[in-house]
Amino acid sequence: MSSINVENVRKDYGGVKALHSVSLDIKDGEFVSLLGPSGCGKSTLLYCVAGLEEISGGRVLFNGNDVADRGARERNIALVFQDYALYPHMSVRENIAFPLRRQKLDSALVTKQVNWAAELLGLTGLLDRSPSDLSGGQRQRVAVGRAIVRNPAALLMDEPLSNLDAGLRVHMRTEIKRLARELGLTVLFVTHDQEEAMVMSDRIAVLSNGHLQQFDDPMTVYRNPINRFVAEFIGSPKMNILPAPNGNAKIIIGARPHDMNLVKDGKANTDDFAVTGTLAMVEPAGHVYFLDVEVGGTLVKATTADIGWSAGRR
Partner 1 sequence: MALIDQHEATVLPPRRYRPRPPLFAYLASSPTLLMVVLVVGLPLVYSIWLVLHRANPITRKTTFAGLSNFRNIFKDPAFWEAFGRTLYFTGFALIGTTVIGMAIALVLNKAFFGRGFMRSVMLVPWAMAPVSVAVLWSFIYAGDVGTLNAALNDLGLGAWTQAWLGDGNRALNLVALTHVWNQAPLTALLLLAGLQSMPASLHKAAMLDGAGPVGRFFRITLPWLRPSLLFVCIIATINALMAFDIIWIMTRGGPGQATTVFAWLGYVYSFQFLRFGEGAAMLYVLTALSFACAIVFVLLLGPSRWRRRAQADTANAGAPNVAEAAVKARPVTLEPPKYKAPLLPRRARRLLAKALFRLAVLMIFLWSAVPVLMLLNMSLTPATDLIRTPASIIPSALTLDNFREVLFPDGGTTSTQSKRVPISLMNSFIVGTFTVLIAIALTPFAGYVFARWPRARSFQIGLWGILFTRMTPALTLVLPFFVIYRGLGIIDTRTGLVIAHLSILLPLIAWMMKSTFESVPQSLDRAAIVDGCSRFQMMIRVMIPVIRPGLVAAAIFGFLVSWNEFLFAMILTSTPDAQTIPVVLSGYLQQARFHEYGPMFAASVLSILPPVIIAFVFQRYLVQGALSGAVKG
Ligand X SMILES: Nc1ncnc2c1ncn2[C@@H]1O[C@H](COP(=O)(O)OP(=O)(O)O)[C@@H](O)[C@H]1O
Q: Which residues bind partner 1 (CB under 8 A)?
A: 47, 50, 52, 68-79, 81-83, 85, 87-91, 98-100, 102-103, 105, 109, 112-113, 116, 119-126, 128-130, 133, 135-138, 141, 146, 150-151, 153, 165, 167-168, 171, 174-175, 178-179, 182-183
Which of Mg ion, partner 1, ligand X, none does residue 72 bind (CB under 5 to 8 Å by kind)?
partner 1
Among 11, 9, 5, 6, smallest CA distance to 58 is for 9
Among 1, 18, 114, 118, binds ligand X (CB under 6 A): 18
- Interacting stretch for Mg ion, rule CB under 5 A, among 3-11, 40-48, 128-136, 284-292? 40-48
Q: How many helices (H) and strands (E) does the chain have?
A: 8, 15
- Interacting stretch for Mg ion, rule CB under 5 A, among 36-44, 124-132, 163-171, 235-243? 36-44
H-helix or E-strand spanning residue 100? helix 92-102
Among 42, 75, 146, 169, binds ligand X (CB under 6 A): 42
Report the alpha-carbon distance of residue 116 to residue 93 in Å, rounded. 11
Q: Phi-psi bin for 277: left (phi > 0), alpha (psi -120 to 50), beta?
A: beta
- Interacting stretch for ligand X, rule CB under 6 A, among 34-42, 147-155, 211-219, 247-255? 34-42
Among 2, 44, 140, 208, binds ligand X (CB under 6 A): 44
**Residue 43 binding ligand X, by CB under 6 A:** yes
Q: What is the SS3 string spanning 267-304?
A: CCCCCCCCCCCEEEEEEECCCCEEEEEEECCEEEEEEE
Residue type, 47: Y
Which of partner 1, ligand X, Mg ion, none does residue 168 bind (CB under 5 to 8 Å by kind)?
partner 1
**Residue 38 binding ligand X, by CB under 6 A:** yes
Rounded least distance, CB 82 to ligand X, Å: 9
DSSP-derived 3-state class of residue 225:
coil
Question: Parallel, antiparallel, or unpaired: how do β-strands 31-35 and 187-191 relate?
Answer: parallel
Rounded least distance, CB 40 to Mg ion, Å: 9
Among 86, 85, 17, 73, smallest CA distance to 45 is for 17
**Residue 13 binding ligand X, by CB under 6 A:** yes
- Which C-beta is closer to partner 1: that of 142 or that of 239? 142
- Which C-beta is closer to Mg ion: that of 81 or that of 290? 81
Between the CA of residue 41 and those of 11, 192, 311, what are the distances in Å? Answer: 9, 11, 42
H-helix or E-strand spanning residue 50? helix 42-50
Rounded least distance, CB 25 to partner 1, Å: 21
Among 109, 132, 113, smallest CA distance to 121 is for 113
What b/e sequence results for 277-305 when a residue is b if at least 16 CB atoms lie within 10 Å of its CB, and e otherwise? bebeeeeeeeebbbbbbeeeeeebbbbbe
- Which C-beta is closer to partner 1: that of 26 or that of 100? 100
Among 5, 33, 43, 208, binds Mg ion (CB under 5 A): 43
Which residues are near Mg ion by CB under 5 A? 43
